[in-house]
């Protein structure tokens, strides 16, 4: 790692490494489908609620969300929006620093 940091042109190596790492992340996300063919893949929260109902069957939530997405579709829209806004900022940042680096490098030579 330290040698990579010293020689900045290790860019290609980093890119290759990152692609391998990304494939690994995708694999980790996909493997559960093969291991648990019949699972519902509901949120871990749903199961927590079931557990609470078992421990304290009479518990009633004392407060409910002020606003809820009216449907599953709207909810996924908002989740997608959240991911999109975040990705936009990350992408913008990486684009910015890449451009800056390129400028620095050409300025030097």
Partner 1 sequence: MPRKHQVAIAVLAAFVLLPRAAFSMHIMEGFLPPAWCISWGVLAVPFIILGLFSIQKTVKVNPKLKMLLAMAGAFTFVLSALKIPSVTGSCSHPTGAALGAILFGPAAMAVLGLIVLIFQALLLAHGGITTLGANTFSMAIVGPFVAFGVYRLVRKLGGPMWLAVFLAAALGDLMTYVTTSFQLAFAYPSPTGGFAGSLVKFMGIFAVTQVPLAISEGILTVIVFNILTVYSRNELKDLKILSQEVSQ
Binding region for partner 1 (CB under 8 A): 1-2, 4-5, 8, 10-11, 14, 17-18, 21-22, 24-25, 28-29, 31-33, 35-36, 38-49, 51-52, 55-56, 59, 61-69, 72, 75, 78-80, 82-83, 85-90, 93-94, 96-98, 100-101
Toward partner 1, which CB reaches closer, 25 or 109? 25
Is the CB of 70 or the CB of 109 nearer to partner 1? 70
Contacts 24+ apart (CB under 8 A), 75-82: none
Torsion of CA 74, 76, 77, 81, to 10 degrees: 140
Tokens of 11: 């860019």
**Assigned token pair, 6:** 């010293």
Tokens, residue 28: 């980790």
Q: How far is it, in rounded angstroms, from Cα 86 to Cα 92? A: 10
Q: Pick between residue 63 and residue 107 the one whose CB is nearest to partner 1.
A: 63
- Tell me how far, at minimum, the Cβ of 4 lies from partner 1, in Å: 7
- CB 74 to partner 1: min, Å: 10
DSSP secondary structure string for all residues of 60-84: --S---SS--SSHHHHHHHHHHHHH
Closest approach, Cβ 9 to partner 1, in A, equals 9
């Amino acid at each position: 790692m330290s040698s990579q940091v010293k020689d900045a042109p290790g860019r290609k190596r980093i890119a290759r490494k990152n692609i391998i790492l990304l494939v690994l992340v995708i694999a980790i996300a996909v493997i559960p489908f093969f291991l648990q063919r019949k699972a519902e893949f509901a949120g871990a929260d749903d199961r927590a609620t079931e557990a609470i109902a078992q421990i304290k069957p009479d518990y009633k939530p004392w407060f409910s969300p002020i606003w809820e997405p009216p449907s599953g579709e709207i909810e996924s829209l908002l989740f997608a929006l959240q991911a999109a806004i975040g990705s936009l900022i990350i992408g913008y940042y990486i684009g910015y620093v890449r451009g800056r680096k390129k400028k620095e490098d050409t300025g030097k030579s």
